[in-house]
Amino acid sequence: MAVLKPRVSTNKEMRLLSWIDPLKLSWKGLSLNTNAIDMIEANPDKIDWTRIWCNPNAMHLLHSKKKNSRAWWHLNGNPGAMYLLEKNPAKIDFTALSSNTSPVAMAILEKNLAYANWPALTSNPAAIHIIRKYNITDYWGCLCKNPAAIDLIEANPAKIDWKWLAMNPAAIHIIEANLHLFDTDCWIALSANPAAIHILKANQTKISWPHLSANPAIFEPNLPRPPVYKEDLVKNVFRPDRVERMGGPEWLECV
């Protein structure tokens, strides 16, 4: 398997967590990953051009690309693509737009609710005011995925769909208390949950690597090494046995 190329730029912003094996990652998932842009730009030959249309942080790579009907479908769900849809209103697809969290998308949907896809809208955290206004509880699986609906989920524990809840970053406290109920499908869904990265690290044999590849939490900011603090100096440099070997208190006076 080809080794991933490092990004040429000197101002690389994100890096993989140390425990993530890059050779296990899937480019289908990485192409969706909002924090994988550095890696995507460094490996353009590996991009999955079907899925990257969904990535709001990849618009600079996409705006000049030729768009077929499938690309437009994915762009309808992409919060970063609303400027393209506003310029091309004939390309709006209300079913795909129903999952779009952009305020612009919400404004369009609120004027066209008759055309909305209600399951997709039910899972959309930006549509929680619509869900509450119309008391939409027909799609409990989708609702369990919605981070903005956690109060509704907690009030109806008997209706929880664990596979869908496993995707919900706001439900991590419920997930942690019920991991014993998780089957393979739940672990697959959990692999994409950015709030579950600590659970996944502790249960690596249960990870779905294609789904983990799309998880933005597998990356962290590529920050410089933190400074050495006084506590570190006391622990590692000025510990008593070391001071004694270096000459005792007189050495400290010279430091």
Look at residue 248 and tell me if it is in a domain.
Answer: yes
Q: Is residue 238 part of a domain?
A: yes
pLDDT the model gives residue 64 = 87
Q: What's the mean per-residue pLDDT of the chain?
A: 89
Instruction: Give the whole-number percent of the chain exceeding pLDDT 90.
Output: 80
Pick from 81, 74, 38: nearest CA to 56: 81
Q: How confident is the model at residue 83 (pLDDT cuts 50, 70, 90)?
A: very high
Distance (Å, rounded) from C-alpha 248 to C-alpha 241? 9
Residue 44 is assigned to a structural domain of this protein: no
Tally the domains of the chain: 1
**239, part of any domain:** yes
Whether residue 147 lies inside any domain: the answer is: no
Q: Which residues pair with 16 in a beta bridge?
A: 219
Domain span including residue 252? 229-255
Whether the Cβ atoms of residue 76 and residue 93 lie closer than 8 Å to each other: yes
- pTM for the model stands at 0.82
**One-letter amino acid of 128:** I
Query: How would residue 217 be classed by pLDDT, with cut points 50, 70 and 90?
Result: very high
